Amino acid sequence: MTRFIRPLLSALTCFTLLGATSSFAADKPNIVVFISDDHGQLDSSVYGAGDVRTPNMDRLAADGMTFTHAFVASPACGPSRTALLTGLWSARNGAEPNHKAKNPDVRSLPPLLHALGYEVAAFGKVAHGNYAKDHGFDVVSGIQIGYSDTVEVAEYLKKRDASKPLCLFYGTRHPHVPWGENSGYDPAAIKLPPTHVDTAATREQRARYYSDVTRADALLGELRDLAKAHVPGDTLFIYTADHGGQWPFAKWNLYDAGTRVPFLASWPGRLKPGSTSDAMICWPDLLPTFIELAGGATPAGIDGRSFAGVLRGTATTHRDQVFTTHSGDGDFNVYPIRSVRTRDWKYIRNLHPEFQHHTHISRSSGPSGRDYWGSWVEAAGQDSLAAAVVKRYSERPAEELYNLATDPYELHNLAANPAQAERLQLLRADLDAWMKAQGDKQTVFGKPLLLGETPTLIAPGAAKSKRK
């Protein structure tokens, strides 16, 4: 880390010698980031969901820019958030399975911003578990379950020295499970994704999930009000989420429902109100973007690429491909996956198709989805379409290929289609090259459940990620 920070510290020393520290923040924007937990892109009104209430997201979009092609690095809380804070994908930062800290020698965003004069604060679930302490924040408040209010943020903002530029992260657990009570949604009126089995239990739980999305949206409104009142000057405000919701084919999966997230940015005087960008960005890009906006140089050797030009209006495109990885979450979910996505196509490699795919939804004895999963299994015994969904959830081929332009829910696997043989070969080669460059060891974490074995329930907290 020293070789990256020393030049920045030297620059800071020059400012001090010139007597310019009093105006250090003059051209450095404040950055405020709101992170929700388990919120897929399509589950908000901004992105076309007409049956969910997210008025504060609507207002944020009206005030700034909506990114339509924003992706995380991994569809699990820990790996996703560590990629954001380090600018590295999981194989290089060490946080491959969920509930694992980054490697100690991996640098993080806060020290890099410190060298540029910033104060960096984290409230609620920003890093995962108690890992915020490993990243060097000036202020860490709250545990990984996240905040259900903004009281401590308000107290902090009222008391802090506002002469320093601020980078503030706020993370709520909403809409992570367990979902709260339904707050005014009609289960019968909700439009279910085509990946769902339509049962009464599914609709009831979907209504509770939407209620938690709306609770996150209310907190977003509170944080924006606090930022307007107590964060003076040039301020970039961002709303995003760590991955998709805890539903089959979403969280813990590399389908878009798991990896494509909302990303809304308001920057008064900089971003055109009501604008849209289809630039492909991903969470590792946030570290170099913030460093560039703060006036620093992108650290060498990271995976992220700055999209500051898109925010400044000097660029309209960014990436041609986005790579995503998932390695597992305890013994609930032992199913390593890799993928590469272009604008219109996605190639997924299931590293061990001889494993059954399961998650907390189908194996946890706690309140993590079994309230409706049992109804899916029951329906599968009577309906061939439901049976196909349940089978697709647990049994997967080695390779999957989807035309996202015509099949946005990734329902039709074209990997065996002779007409797509050349495309399959090219994307397969791209993923191979990327995995080799990453030093991806394709490690299996936890005890897999093989095809043909009977799934057993696991008590929450009982399964730990272990290397096979």
DSSP secondary structure letters along 211-249: HHHHHHHHHHHHHHHHHHHHS-SSEEEEEEESS--SSTT
Q: What is the distance between the alpha carbons of residues 106 and 127, in angstroms, rounded to a whole number?
A: 14
pLDDT score at 169: 98
327: closest CA among 59, 93, 39, 13?
A: 93
Q: Residues 49-61: pLDDT tens digits?
A: 999 999 999 999 9
How many Å separate Cα 374 from the centre of its chain? 28
Give the pLDDT score at 145: 72
Give the residues of the chain that fall short of pLDDT 50: 1-25, 463-468
Start and end residues for every CATH 3.30.1120 domain found in the chain: 323-438
CATH architecture of 2-319: 3-Layer(aba) Sandwich (3.40)
The pTM of this model reads 0.93
- Of the candidates 189, 27, 194, which has an alpha carbon nearest to the alpha carbon of residue 118? 27
Residue where the block lists tokens 């996240």: 146
pLDDT digits (tens, 9 = 90+) for 10-33: 333 333 332 333 333 458 999 999
Tell which residue, 178, 240, 188, has the closest CA to residue 209. 178
Percentage of the residues of the chain whose pLDDT score is greater than 90: 88
Kind plus residue range of the DSSP H or E element containing 32: strand 30-36
Q: Is 34 helix (H, G, I), strand (E, B) or coil?
A: strand
37 — phi, psi (to 5°)? -120, 110
Contact by Cβ (8 Å): 362, 340: no
pLDDT at 130: 85
Other CB atoms closer than 10 Å to residue 453's CB: what's the count?
10
CA distance 154 to 173: 18
Residues 319-335: tens digit of each pLDDT: 999 999 999 999 999 99
According to the 3-state scheme, what is the secondary structure of 158-198? HHCCCCCCEEEEEEECCCCCCCCCCCCCCHHHCCCCCCCCC
Alpha-carbon distance 457 to 102, whole Å? 29
Domain 323-438 top-level CATH class: alpha beta
Amino acid at residue number 235: T
Q: What is the pLDDT of residue 27?
A: 86
Residue intervals of the chain classified under CATH 3.40.720.10 are 2-319
User: Is residue 174 a contact partner of residue 215, using CB atoms and an 8 Å limit?
Assistant: yes
Output the pLDDT for position 221.
98
Query: What whole-number distance in Å separates Cα of residue 21 and Cα of residue 297?
Result: 20
For residue range 344-401, what is the model confidence (pLDDT) as tens digits?
A: 999 999 999 999 999 999 999 876 667 899 999 999 999 999 999 999 999 999 999 9
Residue 72 has φ and ψ, to the nearest 5°, of -95, 170
- pLDDT value of position 10: 38
| CA distances, 265 to each of 64, 139, 338 (Å) | 6, 24, 29
Dihedral (CA of 45, 50, 54, 56) sign: positive
Residue 84's pLDDT is 98
CA distances, 54 to each of 42, 46, 435 (Å): 12, 8, 38
User: What torsion do the CA atoms of 161, 312, 39, 223 make, to the nearest 10 degrees?
Assistant: 30
